[in-house]
Amino acid sequence: MIYVSSLSDEDYELYEKARNEVSDKHPIKCVCGKLCTGLHELNCKKFKDAVERKYLRLKKLQDKK
């Protein structure tokens, strides 16, 4: 589990980018299949897991550059 409060400013921006990409990819239904609202995204474990996977992929690509 990634603790957002412990991320550097650069990593936090990358995490937010990952969160926005996952959220934009699922505008109506969450990755878990429920109706997508801001409150739901804050509490949904499957959404958080999807964001973490996306963040780690972006971080890996960023480190290769």
Q: List pLDDT tens digits, range 6-49.
A: 889 999 999 999 999 999 999 999 999 999 888 999 999 999 99
Please report which residue ranges of 1-65 form alpha helices under DSSP H.
Answer: 9-25, 38-43, 45-64
Give the distance, in angstroms, between the CA of residue 40 and the centroid of all CA atoms in the same chain.
Answer: 13
What pLDDT score does 53 carry?
96
Domain housing 11: 4-64
Residue 3, φ and ψ in degrees, nearest 5: -95, 110
Count of domains for the chain: 1
- Asked if 64 contacts 24 with a C-beta cutoff of 8 angstroms, the reply is no
- Using the Cα atoms of residue 31, residue 35, residue 36 and residue 42 in order, give the sign of their dihedral: negative
